Amino acid sequence: MKGYTTREVAEVLGLPTSKILSWTRSGLLTPQRGPRGAYVYSFQDIVLLRAARELLKADVAPRRVRSALEALREQLPVGRPLSTVHISALGHRVFVRDADSVWEPDSGQLLIDFAVAEVAERAEPIARRVLAETEPTRATATTADEWYDAALDLEAVSVEGAERAYRRALEAEPAHPDAHLNLGRLLHESGELEAAEGHYRAAVAADSESARARYNLGVVLEDLGRTDEAMAAYREALRLDEGLATAHFNLSRLCEAKGDEAEALGHLLSYKRLLAQGARKA
């Protein structure tokens, strides 16, 4: 997956290439450069350009649009499918939400409201074509991080393609923790629980400080019916990051089922406190 050309981005967004280039050159985006100096856009770039289009249509000053995109670039989910993201506004407050949480980038009075899935639907044919061009031979493979970045983009349009790209990342770097974690998540979501467990454990082994890897491991172990192991994994996740609200919730539920009401209550109170503070769920 080499990314999207200016012409392909224009096709997805229904805009002239001159407008894409103008916004890019003005600093609204900082895409990568290809071998011949041409701009190479990621799927996240397309999402940000769509946001820019809506903001500029609403007569928001370009300087404020740039500030909004900088905030969104930092806060769009990393390692999670962008297709579930929705960007909206309520008065002067802008909200971004995905399947797990809602957050507010500090971007001022902005009038935008669109689902990234809409953009993903238009980008899918191009992503599939580019994937087909790069898939036949290993000679086109680049670094593990580049395959990983490609997989993130592909998640929005092709889960199958994303899985292949994560596997390519792991061929290049067998201990790539994020590739193991995300591939495990895709396998988990498709019901391949044992395979997902293997990749979560590989992510734990590759990154001893990853609370999310341990949390995801706990979820799949619970789905496999291995409750004691799941509880141990949740406790390890909270040891590394006590702000994982859903880990507290899951532990509370499992402790209650085992009759440990004191620990169950403690985790439930922590879960409610973290939600009140606006903490991430997981």
Please report, for the domain that includes residue 270, its CATH number. 1.25.40.10
Domain membership of residue 221 as a residue range = 174-282
CA-CA distance, 239 to 36, in Å (whole number)?
A: 48
Q: Using one digit for the tens of pLDDT, what is the confidence trace for 175-226?
A: 999 999 999 999 988 889 999 999 999 999 999 999 999 999 999 999 999 9
pLDDT(29) > 90: no
For residue 148, being part of any structural domain is answered with no
Out of 100, 120, 140, a domain closes at: 120
- In this structure, is residue 268 part of a structural domain? yes
The model's pTM is 0.56
The pLDDT value recorded for residue 119 is 57
Domain stops at, among 120, 135, 155: 120
Q: Structural domain tally of the chain?
A: 2
Q: Which of 76, 102, 120 is the last residue of a domain?
A: 120
Shared domain for 15 and 104, answered yes or no, is yes
| pLDDT more than 70, % of the chain | 65
Buried b (16+ CB within 10 A) or exposed e, 29-62: bebeeeeeeebbbbbbbbbbbbbbbbbeeeebee
- When pLDDT is cut at 50, 70 and 90, the band that residue 141 belongs to is very low
The pLDDT of residue 99 is 54
How much is the mean pLDDT over the chain? Answer: 76
Residue 144 confidence (pLDDT) above 70:
yes
